[in-house]
Amino acid sequence: MDREDLISKKELLDATSISYGQLYRWKRKNLIPEDWFIRKSTFTGQETFFPKEDILKRIKKIQSMKENLSLDEMAEMFSPKLDQLEISRSDLLEKGLISEPVMSFFEENADKRDDSFRLEDVLALYVLEGLLQSGDISLEEGKMVLEVMLSGARPERGRLIVLRKLGIATCFIAEGEVVFEQAVKVVATISLAEAGEELKTKLV
């Protein structure tokens, strides 16, 4: 993330008129994700930075709701239960979580006929988006990833592993340690639990 996309802790406190104590209380209550606190070296030593757009939007939302909701109620709201998730196609595109080409690819290959996306759809889309955008897999391999992801994968379990040997790819979901022969190239290893948690913070 570029420095211009970040805001320092001092700049954040000044811009939002909140205290150091409030900021870290909201962090402890999981109103602000741990991974938004980014430590960087500066000429004055170590400083904490935040993703500027995300943190300003989140604090504005917290400030607008704190008169009517407790911190615990807000924490529940900011941590949606993915197994109860239902989101529309347009919402996913507007949030920038999924690109139009990947959405179209998903709809064509997953035989998606309605506009409502549940947990397994969104997680599969999110993982597929990352793999295709990074160039780690081809479109043909993307079909294989979709088939595995939509076969009943649960976000709190296992890792999606994509392998390639002699130009031929395969993928599967595994729990625990997996050992591969030396000739196998590990193309990608994705923790479904971590992908699910990351997705949660971006859906709020």
Q: According to the model, what pLDDT value does residue 50 have?
A: 92
Would the pLDDT of 2 be above 90?
no
Rounded CA-CA distance 171/187 in Å is: 9
pLDDT for residue 195:
82
Instruction: List, in sequence order, every residue forming a beta bridge with 170; answer none if it has no partner.
Output: 163
**Which tens digit of pLDDT belongs to each residue from 153-173?**
555 567 899 999 988 999 988
Radius of gyration of the chain (CA): 20
pLDDT value at position 17?
Answer: 94
pLDDT band per the 50, 70, 90 thresholds, residue 120: confident
Per residue in 25-84, pLDDT tens? Answer: 999 888 888 888 998 888 878 899 999 988 998 999 899 888 888 888 777 766 655 555
Averaged confidence pLDDT in the chain? 85
- Give span(s): CATH 1.10.1660.10, the chain: 3-77
User: Between the ranges 78-92, 131-145, 152-166, 167-181, where is the mean pLDDT highest?
Assistant: 131-145
Calculate mean pLDDT across residues 82-108.
85
pLDDT of residue 204 exceeding 70: no
**CATH for 3-77 (1.10.4100.10, 1.25.40.10, 1.10.1660.10, 1.10.10.60):** 1.10.1660.10
Q: Among 192, 136, 195, 191, which Cα is nearest to 169's? A: 136
Distance CA 112, CA 176 (A): 32
Would you state the pLDDT for residue 131? 94
Residues of the chain above pLDDT 90, percent? 39
